[in-house]
Amino acid sequence: MSDSELTITDLDENAQQTALAEFAHFYIAHFKQNSLEILSQYRVDYSMNDINRYLFENRYFSPEELIAGVLKDKRSLFLNILKTVKMTYNANGSLKDNTWEGWYRQNYAKIEQGI
């Protein structure tokens, strides 16, 4: 399989951990800003609800503790989200041709603005 076709499940353990950590940093930043609407267009409500509860209950953790804890305790839920969003990755676990913030801005720009 070429690098251009790598999905989260194609990555080795280290690369998958890199991908999960990058996504967790993005997710937590948007959780704190109350701006996870873009992800709600995917069928990941259960995963998001459980992750969000964990983040809320542990909101007083340091950023490092929060990342480490959520990746340890909610890894499978983050993996479910990444499988559903279907992004492509480089072999090292970084997103191919994009960043999570870039992806967010692209999807946000597609939303029709209300009155």
Domain boundaries, the chain: 3-109
Amino acid at 16: Q
By CB atoms closer than 10 A (0-12, 13-18, 19+), residue 9 is: exposed
Give residue 2's pLDDT.
52
Give residue 40's pLDDT.
85
DSSP 33: T
Please tell me the pTM assigned to this model.
0.89
Phi, psi (degrees; rounded to nearest 5) at 89: -130, 155
Give residue 108's pLDDT.
86
